[in-house]
């Protein structure tokens, strides 16, 4: 992932502290604006894995 755009898709529903819309934890959402690009990329990678585990689509492109 090269983009560090905010992954929020305005679906703010949480399952065990993880947003099913973007895959981030509440803590990560709060910290987002203060993170550098490397920190944001790490969160985006974690979020993508969480979305897969939740079987949610988030911002991932559907095939």
For 21-49, write each residue's pLDDT tens digit. 999 999 999 999 999 999 999 999 999 99
CB 46 within 8 A of CB 35: no
Calpha distance 41→63 (Å, rounded):
22
Q: What is the pLDDT of residue 3?
A: 62
> What does DSSP assign to residue 23?
-
Q: What is the pTM of this model?
A: 0.78
Q: Where are the domains of the chain?
A: 14-54
pLDDT band at 1 (very low <50, low <70, confident <90, very high): very low
> What does DSSP assign to residue 60?
S
pLDDT band at 56 (very low <50, low <70, confident <90, very high): low
Q: What is the pLDDT of residue 25?
A: 95
Q: Residue 27 corresponds to which tokens in the numbers above?
A: 């803590």
Going by C-alpha positions, the residue among 47, 13, 51 that lies closest to residue 28 is 47
User: What 3-state DSSP class applies to 2?
Assistant: coil
């Amino acid at each position: 992932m090269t983009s560090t755009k905010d992954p929020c898709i305005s679906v703010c529903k949480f399952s065990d502290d993880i947003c099913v819309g973007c895959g981030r934890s509440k803590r990560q959402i709060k910290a987002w604006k203060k993170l550098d690009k490397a920190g944001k990329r790490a969160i985006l990678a974690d979020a993508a894995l969480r979305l897969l585990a939740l079987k949610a689509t988030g911002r991932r492109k559907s095939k």
